[in-house]
Amino acid sequence: MQPTVQRLYSLLFALSLLALNPWGETRGEIWTVPKIGVLIALYGLNLVLLWRKPLRFDSQQWLSFMFWGFWLAFGAIAVLESPVPRRAFWGQDEMGDGWFYWGVLANLTLSNTALLRQYPHLLRSQIKGLLLGGVVLVLAMIPQLIDWRIDYTQTMGELLRPGILRSTIFADHQPIGTYSHRGHVAFVLSFLCILLLLLRRWRWLSRRNTFLGLVLFGGMLWMLRTRVGILVFVVGVLYLLGRRYKRTMIVLCLLGGLLMGLITFSRPIEGLPLIKQITSDRVYLWHLGRSGIRQRPLWGWGFNGFGVAYAHLVEKHSDNSRRIEVIHDVYYEAITPEGQVEFELLISNKAHNLILDTWISTGFFGLISYLSLLGFYTYQAYQSRLQRLEVLVIIYVTFTFTWFEAAQFSHLLWWGLSLTARSPALYPKGQCREE
Give the model confidence (pLDDT) of 168-214 as tens digits: 999 988 999 999 999 999 999 999 999 999 999 999 999 999 999 99
Average pLDDT over residues 326-345: 90
Average pLDDT over residues 214-230: 92
Average pLDDT over residues 123-135: 97
Identify the pLDDT of residue 49. Answer: 94
266 or 68: whose pLDDT is higher?
68
How far is it, in rounded angstroms, from Cα 116 to Cα 375? 22
Q: For the ranges 152-161, 233-242, 247-256, 304-313, which has the lowest average pLDDT?
A: 247-256
Identify the pLDDT of residue 59. Answer: 82
pLDDT at 280 over 70: no
Identify the pLDDT of residue 430. Answer: 39
Identify the pLDDT of residue 434. Answer: 39
Residue type, 321: S
Task: Return the number of other C-beta atoms located less than 10 Å from residue 139's C-beta.
Answer: 12
Average pLDDT over residues 67-93: 97
CA angle 254, 259, 263 (to 5 degrees): 150
Identify the pLDDT of residue 435. Answer: 34
pLDDT at 249 over 90: no
pTM for this prediction: 0.92
Burial 271-301 (b: 16+ CB within 10 A, else e): eeeeeeebbbebeebbebbeebbeebeebbb
Residue type, 191: F
Q: For the ranges 21-30, 130-139, 148-157, 250-259, which has the lowest average pLDDT?
A: 250-259
pLDDT > 90 in the chain, percent? 75
Average pLDDT over residues 338-357: 93
pLDDT at 432 over 80: no
How far is the CA of 354 from the CAs of 227, 403, 406, in angstroms?
17, 7, 11
Count the alpha carbons within 13 Å of 262 in the hemisphere toward its beta carbon. Answer: 10
Average pLDDT, the chain: 90
Task: Return the number of other C-beta atoms located less than 10 Å from residue 104's C-beta.
Answer: 19
Residue 175: asked if its preceding bond is cis (omega within 30°), the reply is yes
Average pLDDT over residues 332-348: 90
Task: Return the number of other C-beta atoms located less than 10 Å from residue 62's C-beta.
Answer: 10
**84 contacts 302 by C-beta, under 8 angstroms:** yes
How far is it, in rounded angstroms, from Cα 383 to Cα 419? 11
pLDDT at 225 over 90: no
Average pLDDT over residues 2-24: 96
Average pLDDT over residues 22-46: 97
CA angle 104, 105, 108 (to 5 degrees): 85
pLDDT at 254 over 60: yes
Residue 202, SS3 per DSSP: coil
How far is it, in rounded angstroms, from Cα 258 to Cα 84? 44
* 372-408 pLDDT, tens digit each: 999 999 999 999 989 999 999 999 999 999 999 999 9
End-to-end CA distance of the chain: 29
Residue 274 pLDDT level (bands cut at 50, 70, 90): low
Residue type, 263: I
Dihedral sign of CA atoms 3, 38, 47, 64 in order:
positive
pLDDT > 70 in the chain, percent? 90
pLDDT at 138 over 90: yes
Q: Spell out the residues 6+ positions from residue 26 whose beta carbon is closer than 8 angstroms to its own.
A: 93, 94, 329
